[in-house]
Structure 1
């Protein structure tokens, strides 16, 4: 279920002042105008970390419509689900709906990513940022007519700010590279959710534009 980019608070008894929110939007059309939240530690009334929930359903419906998204100033386009919430923070744009998430992360790169650099550089970085990061596997795949590096792993979602629940997620991160630009496309949803076809639709849709 990331090539380039990529790839994205709990409740307490006394809420603290929120940090400034990133720019948010919702995808509603085929516009081409220009991946999340940090986990909090506590469930209501407790100082201990929130327990990971058993895997809930997270299937994306077969009727889902996809629309093209082009990040501002980037020569790349990728299809994303219409109607999902959009949040842009720096070089990353995240699309989310219920339990599923897509992150598009764009950076300049002098060399293309390889299975070796992803395992030796990217995996340690993810270990430090993804709660309960586990089971990393690096290989290659073919998407959008080009070879890409595919990293799969598991991790916990951020704590739901309303329910205080945490979901065990499966991640697919495709790394694309073209003309000095790297795109990491990270797709995530609950472990055991059947999103093979939707994730294939998104990961196979990336196109480099003039």
Structure 2
């Protein structure tokens, strides 16, 4: 359920936002145990124990039902700023995502250093059997060091209470 996938065209930009569920599933329990994920790509991050992990050449994803965490690594010439995120990252996010609506972009100070936080909503991928979609809330963090950009995406059904768990994960990111 990764938000940005290769081959997604502008047809998704015209997709209508699905309504949020009244009692959304997807809360990460307060009792959830987190473990350290040590990436061969040069960073560590706490992720929920027991979530399905998929490794990719550019990162990894962790998924449990309608919740997910995705980390990708790419090359970058400079650290992103809130302004460059508005001009460079958001148009790509909107063009490649499903009914994306960005609500906030700001620079944040995290233990790993400064990062850019992009908050937005989007539709999930359609269920393969039912074609049903869920409205998601998303947080994207852009971490940069020495020509390397790590993008951390966190997503869950809109209205799920994952603030503390997302803060734990975004604050746990460390460069190796």
TM-score scaled by length of structure 1 = 0.72
Partner SS, residue 39 of structure 2: coil
2:39 is aligned with 1:71: yes
2:70 to 100, 103, 121: 103
Work out which structure has the larger RCO, using CA pairs closer than 8 Å and 6 or more positions apart in sequence: 1
- The CA deviation at 1:88 is 2.8
Say yes or no: does 1:61 pair with 2:29. Answer: yes
Aligned twin of 1:118: 85
Secondary structure of the 1:69 match is strand
Task: Provide the rounded CA distance (Å) in 2 between the counterparts of 1:63 and 1:36.
Answer: 32
SS at match of 1:78: strand
Using the alignment, how far apart are the partners of 2:126 and 2:37 within structure 1?
Answer: 28
Distance 2:175 2:129 in 1: 39
Structure 1 or 2, whichever has the larger Rg, is: 1
Mark the runs of 5 or more structure 2 residues left unpaired by the alignment: 9-14
Displacement after TM superposition at 1:69 (Å): 1.2
Give CA-to-partner distance per residue, 1:12-46, whole Å, 9 cap, x none.
xxxxxxxxxxxxxxxxxxxxxxx86999xxxxxxx
Look up the match of 1:134. Answer: 101
Instruction: Decide whether the 8 Å contact of 1:58 with 1:100 is kept in 2.
Output: yes
Q: How many residues align?
A: 167
Distance change in 2, residues 1:37/1:84 (3 Å): farther
The Cα shift of 1:151 comes to 0.6
Residues 54/149 of structure 1: CA separation in 2 closer, same or farther (3 Å cut): closer
Residue 178 of structure 1 and its aligned partner are, at CA, apart by: 1.4
C-alpha contact 1:53 1:165 (8 A) present in aligned 2:
no
- Alignment of 1:207 with 2:143, yes or no, is no
Q: Identify, as 1 or 2, the structure richer in helix.
A: 2
1:45 matched to which residue of 2?
Answer: none
Deviation at 1:93, TM superposition (A): 1.5
Higher strand share: 2
RMSD over aligned Cα atoms: 2.4
